[in-house]
Chains A and B, each alone.
Chain A
Amino acid sequence: MISYKSGKQPDSREYRLIFKNVDREGWDPSIDCYLRDGGYEELRKAMGMEPKAITEEVKKSGLRGRGGAGFPTGLKWTFIPPNNTKPVYLICNCDESEPGTFKDRYIVHQDPHQLIEGMVIACFAVGAKVAYIYIREEFPEAAIILENAIQEAREKNFVGKNVLGSGFDVEIHVHRGAAAYICGEETGLIESLEGKRAYPRIKPPYFPAALGLYLCPTIVNNVESLCHVKHIVRMGGEEYAKLGVKNNTGTRILCVSGDVKKPGYFEVEVGKVTMRELLYDMCGGPKDGRTFKAVIPGGSSAKILRCDETFTLRGKGPEGSDLQLSFWDIPMDFDSLAACGTMAGSGGVIVMDDTRKMSWVLNNLNTFYAHESCGQCTPCREGSMWMKKISDRLVAGDAAPEDIATLESVAYQIDGRTICAFGEASSWPVEAIIAKFREELLSETHAGIENVPHNPEAEAQRRFLNHTPAEPGAPVTADIA
């Protein structure tokens, strides 16, 4: 069972919009409870609006997708071709599987009707008559909760034929995945929903909004993003945009895990909380006797940050001057984290203290990505496996100093050379951990270990990969028979 910390008070710095009902005293996932709290009022309001007007409000709100990429939701909706005659589909991406992220879990277990209301409004706005909730296999209980909730909503005519007498028909189906991380990638998800292996599709030129499920226009949105739609309809786009900071509007749920006193979820206005406030004030600081060492700020794919780093943000200071920023002063928003060389991603903050070896962290992540690579593109399929093998050696104490450079070169050969963003997702952690903890990793290696072939062929290959010509006078070693 998922734990209900019933009546647990949110932190005073939180701004609860999406998580208003999570852990709320006396709250349950039934429709009666939801209706008592004014549920489905926004759906009524939306049904009285023009679909285009809803999209316009979402655009005005500045809502950026909460799944990881941070793409503007309203803009995504407008990519459906205007002269489209095919059916339009809406898919809710509930494949929450980015390590460090655990927000959608609480929405679908504790407040399913908020998601359904958001989805029906979104369907109305984009003209979708069929919607799917693609839920990860590891949420079996939530799949049942959602199916029951959809049935309850159908009985009250919030879903089904002629929703609230508007003449609009919509059906929502729950579809369970099967424990593959790659299904969180929207085109991989679509392939999976078509009953195939979840091999992501190449894009551009055709994004799912033009050619998606069954080659029909398809909008894929994250659970949290769809929930925000309901609140945007209630508040109006402009009012919603006043939450958060410029270009990073609204609230978002930060999930903190790892080495802090009080891990958990915190819904805050985007950019209004700094790293220091989050980790010290809201999460209670490091465990006793330990100090913070490093933080992965946006799900395991985001580049790691050292807690003693400082950043220079060009043109971000007063009157366009450069802004000096310490790690602790980074505001938790999309743009600031991107400016610091990492990303806000899915909001999963993983904290490591001084007891953690970075080689061990690196190996844990490499094992994850080696397991989850779908195997479609060669650089990622082979590279993720090689990165794991090298970091396996590193934690076993069998690595040579050269291994670190080899590992780094493998990572840079995946990055940017694959169909989907998994290539970056798997190589960024390696690139960042090596860049920021090179000395520590090197200190765990042993010179003279010959696990890496240092024969002439291997040297020639290394030169080829590094685009460095052979030194003049070097012996010619490649014998071509």
Chain B
Amino acid sequence: MSLTPLEENVASHETPGSKFFPPFAVTPELEAEAGKRLAQFPEDRKRSAVLPLLHYVQHHHGFISAEAIDWVAARLDITPVKVLEVVTFYPGFRQSAPGQFHVRVCRTLSCAMGGSHELMKKLCELTGIDRTSCDAHHHPIAVSPCGKWSVEFAECLASCGTAPVCLVNDDFHEAVTADKAQTLLDSYSNGSSSH
């Protein structure tokens, strides 16, 4: 079946990480979050709540699916394309599942000087991730075959003085040189993160 360009744009792809995230569903918690966020803006400015709602969806479901886009659009009384344009614009949103633990390594100058490329290489080695098909704009994320890990190069994480740095889900880690990569992964092997 061939997809139209629009369908292709909203389609999510199955990744090894998909099994770790529940499919999108409208829960009472999501409704409560929507109510809380909408209250922060004037009544006729519901569209402002699009980023917070997408954050909530991505936090709980791993990525932004077509169903989620439709729901957010309906909740905010805007057309789905106005949600989609936001999802595709901001590097912080993704449309397919990452790994259970998503590692964002800072790529920008100070971290690169501190060894972030070496860290990324080591992480890929340890998790069996192949980044060769990654490109910064359209496919920044690579997932390990087991689905437990994924990596992405992020732009400046604003901690240049403690380079190289990375985020694992919502946890921030400083001075993670390549030789500390194994320890970093080990700290997530059993427990769970704040995600």
Please give the residue numbers on chain A whose beta carbons come within 8 Å of chain B beta carbons, in ascending order.
Answer: 1-3, 96-102, 104-105, 132, 136-141, 173, 175-181, 192-198, 214, 255-259, 263-265, 296, 300, 348, 350, 352, 356, 361, 364-365, 367-368, 370-372, 374
Contacts and interface: CB of A to CB of B under 8 A. Distances in A.
Contact of A138 (B54, B137, B157): B157
B160 A255 contact: yes
Nearest to A265: B161
A258 B109 contact: yes
Contacts of B157: 138
Contact of B110 (A3, A350, A370, A372): A350
Contacts of B52: 175-176
Contacts of B90: 137, 177-180, 198
B155 A181 contact: yes
Interface of B: 40, 42, 45, 47-52, 54-55, 76, 78, 82, 85-86, 89-93, 104, 107-110, 112-113, 136-137, 154-163, 167, 170-172, 174, 194
A256 B109 contact: no
A196 B47 contact: yes
B113 A255 contact: no
B51 A138 contact: no
A259 B51 contact: no
Contact of A173 (B40, B50, B55, B156): B40
Contacts of A99: 108-110, 155-156, 160
Contact of A179 (B40, B86, B154, B159): B154
Nearest to A134: B51
Q: Which 6 A-B pairs have the closest CB atoms?
A: A178-B92, A179-B92, A178-B90, A257-B160, A195-B47, A257-B110
11 contacts: A137-B90, A138-B158, A175-B40, A177-B92, A178-B51, A179-B155, A181-B156, A194-B47, A196-B85, A259-B113, A356-B113
A195 B108 contact: no
Contact of B161 (A136, A139, A255, A361): A255
A3 B52 CA distance: 27
Q: Which of B48, B50, B107, B161 has the most CB of A within 10 A?
A: B161
B49 to A, nearest CB: 7
B86 A196 contact: yes
Nearest to A199: B89
B112 A364 contact: yes
B113 A258 contact: yes
A257 to B, nearest CB: 3
Contact of B55 (A178, A263, A300): A178
B55 A176 contact: yes
Contacts of A356: 113
B108 A300 contact: yes
Given A368-B108, A371-B136, 16 more contacts: A100-B109, A132-B40, A140-B170, A175-B51, A176-B55, A181-B156, A195-B47, A195-B51, A195-B78, A196-B82, A197-B86, A257-B161, A258-B109, A263-B162, A364-B108, A364-B109
A101 B158 contact: yes
A102 B92 contact: no
B163 A257 contact: yes
Given A176-B55, A197-B86, A3 B137 contact: no
B171 A1 contact: yes
A178 B108 contact: no
Contacts of A348: 160
Nearest to A369: B155
